[in-house]
Amino acid sequence: MHLAVKRAGTITSAALLIALGVGGGVASADDTPTDTNTVVNSEPPQETDPADTGLVDVPTGQGDSEPDIPGSGSAGGGNQPGAQRCEVERVYTPTYKGGDHHKGVGAPQANTNDTSHSATSTFTAEVSGTVGVSYSGSLSVSANAMIGKIEAKYDVSLSASMTAKLGNSMSISTPAHKITHASYGVYRLRTQGTSYVITENCKTTTKSTVTSYTPHYVGWYIWESNA
């Protein structure tokens, strides 16, 4: 199978969207992008933005777990006679939508074309793996609650985890004297938001900026280098 190729001189957030369902394997994805052009990049993928540090992973199956409320259990002014009391409210508000970052599953693959004419390179996923949500900052809501807010604001379809499955294949033309590299995995959408808690004594905890990477779709990331 020969695929139409678009080559870019710099990394693009679109990356490669063509591998879903190609070949003998089946890739698991809940949101298939409408733009299915193949983008061949000039650099390896960046799993996260270099500025993002201290990321933690949400364990698979714990998307509904709510973090502890900072300072919960403290008597505070709200427990005094006549003091105002509030229902505890966990808040997350999305403030920024970035691009997709590719997190590979298994080792990257490569094919070298040392000939003077183009050749077809075929890549097949050799392992299966599940990728979940990662975030930094103090998240006051569950991962699924955060995802729901992001989906509603930016009209996207996300998941707490996605699985890149064994056996998915793709083929692409490798130009003469070039190396085609391929990484199969999960594209995750980078977003930022503000999170805090309104406590039972009607006080607001410190607002935290939360940077998150949430599974968006499964696919290949392709880049080229000189042979």
Residue 214 scores a pLDDT above 90: yes
Give the chain's end-to-end CA distance (angstroms, integer): 24
pTM here is 0.80
Mean pLDDT, range 91-97, rounded to an integer: 98
Q: What is the pLDDT of residue 55?
A: 97
pLDDT at res. 96: 98
Residue 119: partners with Cβ closer than 8 Å, 6 or more residues away: 113, 173, 174
The closest alpha carbon to 70, from 192, 193, 198, belongs to 198
Average pLDDT over residues 102-119: 97
Token output for 35: 């733009």
User: What band does 94 get if pLDDT is binned at 50, 70 and 90?
Assistant: very high
pLDDT tens profile 130-170:
999 999 999 999 999 999 999 999 999 999 999 999 999 99
Q: For residue 14, what is the DSSP state?
A: S
pLDDT of residue 8: 34
- The alpha carbons of the chain give a radius of gyration, in whole angstroms, of 22
Predicted confidence at residue 113, as pLDDT, reads 97
Can you give the pLDDT at residue 17? 37
Please check the confidence at residue 67 and state whether its pLDDT lies above 60: yes
Residue 28 has pLDDT above 90, yes or no: no
Task: Specify whether the CB–CB gap between 95 and 194 falls below 8 A.
Answer: yes
Contact 156, 31 (CB under 8 A): yes
**Model pLDDT, residue 5:** 35
**Contacts of 16 by beta carbon, 8 Å cutoff, 6+ apart:** 38, 39, 40, 219, 220, 221, 222
Confidence (pLDDT) at 38:
75
pLDDT at residue number 128: 97
Q: Which residues pair with 135 in a beta bridge?
A: 56, 212
Tell me the two tokens of residue 58.
Answer: 């949400």
Least confident of 35-49, 159-173, 188-202, 210-224: 35-49
